[in-house]
């Protein structure tokens, strides 16, 4: 077993749900957090943070990245080593871009490597899903690409979803936060059969739309009845940004994860126009935002060390 003293893990942001795929589909995006773990000779935990909204991150044992790190050692029945952790943030916090998932996956992957890789990637993934509570952020953060996760009698089945290269994800990230807890609290605990059928059909259409790039299918596919109608109320300017994105040529717009980031899927020909339209609509609603055209990350969590 080779023992390394330092490991740097890079983990992509993710966008979960993609409209009708509530709690089961997510895609990794080309926006990253980086975490460097170095073993310390002396006892202790040192955490430093730089980058986007760095001052908001906890630097003690309650840090989610450290919780992931400690979780893996607990799982293998060992005490976590003393470490210095240097966090470089590129994914904004509490915006629906999977910042928590980057921390959980980053901590688990780093611990697994520092411990000499006792767990398989599948075991790391199962720990990550158990920590997060749902699979749609942590699975693409770990594996990259667009992924569908479904339970089976043996645990989880993970399926990679083909994504036509001409479909560009445009993210519009507002300057306010929305906690996943708050965004889940507004959801009903029961839904009608009609709404369940609606989402089943639209998720099927979405999978084929993503694979083929068929614009007609994508336009219809991004609708949802399970979470977005309830969450829109929590996102001021939602309607205006949606209308602007579609008018500028987007297939449609969804809430990224639990929000408040809004995600448009766009043919690459229109990505610049959609980007400008979403930004302008949010500014007109009095909300500052950053809007970016990203790509699908296909690598997932990677490490060096
Ligand atoms: N599927 C989750 C939700 C993603 O929408 O609540 C956020 O973690």
The string of pLDDT tens digits covering residues 278-292 is 999 999 999 999 999
Alpha-carbon distance 274 to 280, whole Å?
10
Q: Which atom of ligand 1 is nearest to the CA of 133?
A: 8
For 100, the 3-state DSSP assignment is helix
Question: How far, CA to CA in Å, does 188 sit from each of 78, 146, 192, 195?
Answer: 41, 27, 10, 12
For 146, the 3-state DSSP assignment is strand
Structure tokens at 143: 């594996």
| Residue to probe by mutation, ligand 1, list 15, 103, 137, most atoms within 8 Å of CB | 137
The rounded mean pLDDT for the chain is: 96
Residue 4 has pLDDT above 90, yes or no: no
Instruction: Measure CA of the first residue to CA of the last residue in the chain; give whole Å.
Output: 15
Q: Is the pTM of this model over 0.75?
A: yes
| Residue 3: predicted pLDDT | 63
Give me the percent of the chain exceeding a pLDDT of 70. 99
Q: Which atom of ligand 1 is nearest to the CA of 23?
A: 1
Within 8 A by CB and 6+ apart from 290, the residues are 172, 173
For strand 45-51 and strand 83-89, is the pairing parallel, antiparallel, or unpaired?
A: parallel
Q: Cis before residue 260, ω within 30 degrees of 0?
A: yes
pLDDT of 183-201, one tens digit each? Answer: 999 999 999 999 999 999 9
pLDDT of 27-73, one tens digit each? Answer: 999 999 999 999 999 999 999 999 988 999 999 999 999 999 999 99
Dihedral Cα 15, 196, 242, 17, nearest 10 deg = 0
For strand 6-16 and strand 167-174, is the pairing parallel, antiparallel, or unpaired?
A: unpaired
- Do the beta carbons of residue 20 and residue 203 sit within 8 Å? yes
Alpha-carbon distance 164 to 201, whole Å?
20
- Spacing, Cα 157 to ligand 1 middle (Å): 19
For residue 2, what pLDDT band results from cuts at 50, 70 and 90?
Answer: low
Identify the residue whose C-alpha is closest to ligand 1 atom 4: 257
Q: Which atom of ligand 1 is nearest to the CA of 101?
A: 8
| Residue 182: predicted pLDDT | 95
Ligand 1 — pocket residues by CB below 6 A? 16-17, 22-23, 134, 136-137, 180, 183-184, 227, 257-258
Residue 21 has pLDDT above 90, yes or no: yes
For strand 146-152 and strand 25-39, is the pairing parallel, antiparallel, or unpaired?
A: antiparallel
Give me the percent of the chain exceeding a pLDDT of 90. 97
């Amino acid at each position: 077993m080779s023992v390394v003293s330092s490991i740097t893990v890079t983990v992509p942001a993710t966008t979960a749900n993609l409209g009708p795929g509530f709690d089961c589909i997510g895609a990794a995006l080309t926006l990253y957090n980086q975490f460097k773990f170095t073993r310390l000779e002396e006892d202790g935990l040192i955490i430093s943070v730089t980058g986007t909204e760095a001052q908001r991150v906890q630097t003690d044992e309650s840090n989610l990245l450290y919780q992931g790190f400690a979780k893996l050692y607990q799982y293998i029945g060992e005490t976590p080593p003393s470490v210095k952790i240097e966090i470089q943030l590129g994914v904004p916090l509490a915006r629906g871009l999977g910042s928590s998932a980057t921390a959980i996956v980053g901590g688990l992957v780093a611990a697994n490597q520092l411990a000499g890789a006792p767990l398989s990637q599948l075991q790391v993934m199962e720990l990550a899903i158990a920590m997060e509570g749902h699979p749609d952020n942590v699975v693409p953060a770990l594996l990259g690409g667009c992924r569908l996760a479904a339970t089976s009698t043996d645990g989880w089945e993970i399926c990679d979803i083909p994504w036509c290269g001409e479909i560009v994800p445009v993210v519009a990230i507002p300057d306010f936060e929305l906690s996943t807890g708050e965004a889940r609290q507004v959801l009903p605990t029961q839904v009608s059969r009609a709404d369940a059928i609606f989402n089943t059909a639209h998720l099927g259409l979405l999978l084929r739309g993503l694979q083929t790039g068929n614009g007609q299918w994508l336009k219809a596919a991004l609708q949802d009845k399970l979470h977005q109608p309830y969450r829109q109320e929590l996102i001021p300017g939602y309607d205006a940004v949606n209308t602007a994105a579609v008018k500028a040529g987007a297939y449609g717009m969804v809430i990224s994860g639990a929000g408040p980031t809004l995600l448009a899927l766009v043919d690459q020909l229109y990505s610049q126009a959609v980007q400008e339209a979403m930004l302008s609509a949010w500014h007109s609603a009095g909300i500052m935002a950053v809007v970016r055209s990203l790509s699908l990350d296909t690598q997932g969590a990677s490490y060096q060390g």
